[in-house]
Amino acid sequence: MHWVFTPDTPIYLQVVKQLEQMIASGMLTPGDRLLSVREFASQANVNPNTMQKALTELENRGIVYSKRTSGRFITDDPQRISQLREELAEKEITAFLGAMKRLGYSESDAARLISERKHSEHT
C-alpha cells in the first residue's frame, strides 16, 4: 500500500479515509485480516498511537471488527460495504459539484460536461 499524507488534516483521519477507500474499492476485501497496529504504522510511517486511533475509528463506524486473540478484520457485511461506497461517492460528488460551482458551472452544466466527456471516450 502506498500512503500519502498532507499537512491540512490530522493523519489519523487521512489513514481512516485511505483505508475506507481501499475497502470500498475492493483492494481490501470483506473478511480480510488487517495487519497489526505496529505493522500498519511501520508500513505507513506513522506513530502506532495514530494508527490505533484510526483503526478504533473504523471499528466505531462498523467497517472493521476485532476478534480478541486474532486481530482486526474488514467487516463481511455487504450492506455496510455498500453503504460505505455510497457515503464516499456522495462526498466525492459534493466536492466535485462545489469545485464546479466555484468555476461558475451549475449542476446541470456539470452533468452535461460529464455526459459529453463520457460520450467522447466511447467514440
**What is the structure's pLDDT at 117?**
86
- DSSP state letter for 32: P
The series of mean pLDDT values per 10 residues for the chain, 123 residues long, is 91 96 94 95 95 97 93 95 96 95 94 87 71
**What is the structure's pLDDT at 28?**
93
Radius of gyration of the CA atoms of the chain, in A: 18
How many whole angstroms separate alpha carbon 55 and alpha carbon 81?
A: 16
Dihedrals phi, psi of 59, to nearest 5 degrees: -65, -45
**What is the structure's pLDDT at 109?**
93
Dihedrals phi, psi of 45, to nearest 5 degrees: 60, 45
pTM of the model: 0.84
